[in-house]
Amino acid sequence: MAHSNAKPAAASTPRSTTAQSIADRLRRSLLKKRQELEVDKIFRALVKLEGSDLHLKVGQPPMVRVGGELKALNRPPIDAEEMVDLLLPMMDERNLRIFEEEGGADFAYLCQVDGVNWRFRINMLTALGSIGLVARRINNFIPDFRGLFLPDSIEKLCHYDQGMVLLAGVTGSGKSTTIGSMLNYINSIYRKHILTLEDPIEFIFTEDKCLINQREMGQDVKDFNIGMKHAVREDPDIILVGELRDEETFMTAIHAAETGHLVFGTIHASSASTTIGRILDLFPEEMHGAIRSAIAFNMKGIVAQKLLRSIKPGVSRVPTCEVMTFNPTIRKLVLEGSDEKLPDAIRIGAEDGMQDFTMSLKGLIDDELIDRPTAFAVAPNKDALKMALKGIDVKAPGIL
């Protein structure tokens, strides 16, 4: 289901029977079939409205998220029978089996709009006995790293040779876009091998200086664990492991970081400091000491972000970011289990590229990227933001 950038073979080359050529032909065939699906009309409307997400629910008209807000398309509500007719043809045999067994399925989907192939990340679901869909539109281009209004310290995280870098945030906070832009930045300056294990593949990278292999779970490799077992034999410098959602995934990823790879991943957490606890929640308590040690000595940085509506013309949304890099103070606090002191350590760690959400929000206001009501609506500490905007720097108490 992934989009292919493969070039046609030269005329002198004999007809290829490789897995890649077979996969390319299969993808072209699947795309041709999908162009005939009724649901594609709704996807085309999403693209033309420049929406980010599509929601299909029985009893409601299609809903699209534009500029962060849900809006209904101008068409009648979808009944249960029509929903089945719209959605079931989107699934291949594997995803249909997963959907039937688990009540939901995640996969990538291609739709052609005005001659351009658009990718969507699909979650098919059941709710109150009815089938439904949530789709995320994936940009055809990977945004320029320096054009995303990210803090400069995030660029530094791209230059490590080994370790782990995590992007934290809720669904729709821009984690995948930030990681995609970071990898593309690496692709533009280093000659390395980037290997991605994704479920499903989102951004399709165009090789610049790096060699890039993207593997999709279920299509290119059976599952994540097999993909990681293969990875150690594939000589990667950088590995994207996608979402760290269970104990096995994290242990495999941290082992890759320990053995000399730079590993990127995402996790659902609200802030950089609370990510430590979120990771520990994946493990039984008797393992927490060992996991803290693995985090302290292998993690290079944790970036938590949220997307906010921008007031700058031509810019839809901008990220507010909390950045925690692993300097000696952060490592000491993680090892000691003093997670409650991490926010203070972030505030006084500006020289090491750290910033908290208060500092980030103030910067976005000063740069006229967001307005004050938007900032205060998401500020974790509204009093601290008020003081920061008045030019009062709140020093953290001693934390060592």
Q: Give the residue extent of every domain in the chain.
A: 19-138, 145-389
Architecture (CATH level 2) of domain 145-389: 3-Layer(aba) Sandwich (3.40)
Q: Taking residues 313-322, what's their average pLDDT?
A: 92
Judged against a pLDDT cut of 70, whether residue 22 lies above it is answered with no
- What's the pLDDT score for residue 394? 60
Judged against a pLDDT cut of 90, whether residue 172 lies above it is answered with no
Confidence of residue 24 (pLDDT cuts 50, 70, 90): low
Q: To which residue do tokens 């699947």 refer?
A: 30
- Of the two residues 220 and 59, the one the predictor is more confident about is 59
Domain 145-389 in the same topology as domain 19-138: no
48-91 tens-digit pLDDT: 998 999 999 999 999 999 877 899 999 999 999 999 999 999 99
- What's the pLDDT score for residue 263? 97
- What's the pLDDT score for residue 17? 43
- What's the pLDDT score for residue 141? 78
Is 155:145 a contact under the CB 8 Å cutoff? yes
99-131 tens-digit pLDDT: 999 999 988 898 988 888 898 989 999 999 999
- What's the pLDDT score for residue 294? 97
Pick the CATH number of 19-138 from 3.30.70.2190, 3.40.50.720, 3.30.450.90, 3.30.300.100: 3.30.450.90
- What's the pLDDT score for residue 311? 95
Judged against a pLDDT cut of 90, whether residue 41 lies above it is answered with yes
Confidence of residue 21 (pLDDT cuts 50, 70, 90): low
